[in-house]
Amino acid sequence: MSGSDTVLVALEGGVLRLTLNRPDKLNSFNEEMHHALRAGIQRAHDEAAVRAVLLTGAGRGFCAGQDLGDRDPRKATEAPDLGKTLETLYNPTLRLIRSLEKPVICAVNGVAAGAGANIAFACDIVLAAKSARFIQAFSKIGLVPDAGGTWNLTRILGEPRAKALTMTAEPLGAEKAADWGLIWKAVDDDRLEEEAMALATGFASGPTKGLGLTKRAIQAAGTNSLDQQLDLERDLQREAGRSADYAEGVAAFLEKRKPDFKGR
């Protein structure tokens, strides 16, 4: 499989669909897939025509984290520098997802393990098939959670659940993940594709500027004081108020018609 085939990329009506595509390995990450995913998200940063991203997996899994076939200790002469692979491969992608000021929807179509689970949790809105499960597989192989897992799980779930999930590697079902607030929704398996695409398509005709600023504000709230956050809201509202989409939104409301947002 060539590098570009490891992530299928399609732009449909403003939605950039990125499909992790190594189904025989449950879409685990090899180096080519890292680069292809990163290039896809970078494209969403660069192209105004992209107004939402939909990330999903091909086959029966979403993503099983690192391809352990590429880490076979029996074939290595020395221990790998996994800090380097985080620094050069996983972390840049995580940062690109978080800094993209456009909605990133994740449709978890099956098992999400290791970094695969944590990349899903880094997306803005996560839908999962009811049959999907999330596994913090790291402790099974003597590693620590990465791809932002310790940060997201602790903030969202608190220490007791974050520690138990990561230390036991017990699978967490999609419905429980939704009950715990880790994901937005668990949906019937045969509805996942349709629901995720409807959500992404809706965003792709939405007020992209305002949505992006909303993402920035929500992400800043975790570390800001209330005073800092009130100042940030003031500044971002000022910016949003100058957007063409705000003018269109108010005009459309007053004219009792559907707004025609251009994403500016």
- Residues β-bridged to residue 131: none
CA separation (Å) from 7 to 57, 109, 113, 177? 9, 15, 18, 26
> Which residue's CB is nearer to ligand T3D, number 52 or number 120?
120
In angstroms, give the least distance from the CB of 28 to ligand T3D. 4
In angstroms, give the least distance from the CB of 260 to ligand T3D. 43
Q: How many secondary structure helices (H) and strands (E) does the chain include?
A: 11, 10
Q: Copy the structure tokens of residue 147.
A: 């791809």
Half-sphere exposure of 58 (CA within 13 A, CB side): 17
> Which residue's CB is nearer to ligand T3D, number 100 or number 147?
147
> Which residue's CB is nearer to ligand T3D, number 114 or number 212?
114
Q: Which residues bind ligand T3D (CB under 6 A)?
A: 25-26, 28, 64-69, 71, 82, 85, 111, 113-115, 135, 137-138, 140-141, 143, 146
Q: Which helix (H) or strand (E) holds 126?
A: strand 125-129
DSSP-H helix ranges across 184-225: 192-204, 208-221
> Which residue's CB is nearer to ligand T3D, number 17 or number 22?
22
> Which residue's CB is nearer to ligand T3D, number 65 or number 148?
65
In angstroms, give the least distance from the CB of 19 to ligand T3D. 17
Question: 48-62 burial, b for 16+ CB within 10 Å, e for fewer?
Answer: eebbbbbbbbbbebb
CB-closest chain residue to ligand T3D: 65
In angstroms, give the least distance from the CB of 156 to ligand T3D. 19
Are 206 and 213 spatial neighbours (Cβ–Cβ below 8 Å)?
no
- Closest C-alpha to 122, from 24, 37, 21: 37
- Coil, strand, or helix at residue 129? strand
> Which residue's CB is nearer to ligand T3D, number 16 or number 177?
177
In angstroms, give the least distance from the CB of 234 to ligand T3D. 40
In angstroms, give the least distance from the CB of 64 to ligand T3D. 3
> Which residue's CB is nearer to ligand T3D, number 118 or number 201?
118
- Coil, strand, or helix at residue 17? strand
In angstroms, give the least distance from the CB of 179 to ligand T3D. 21
d(CA 160, CA 135): 16
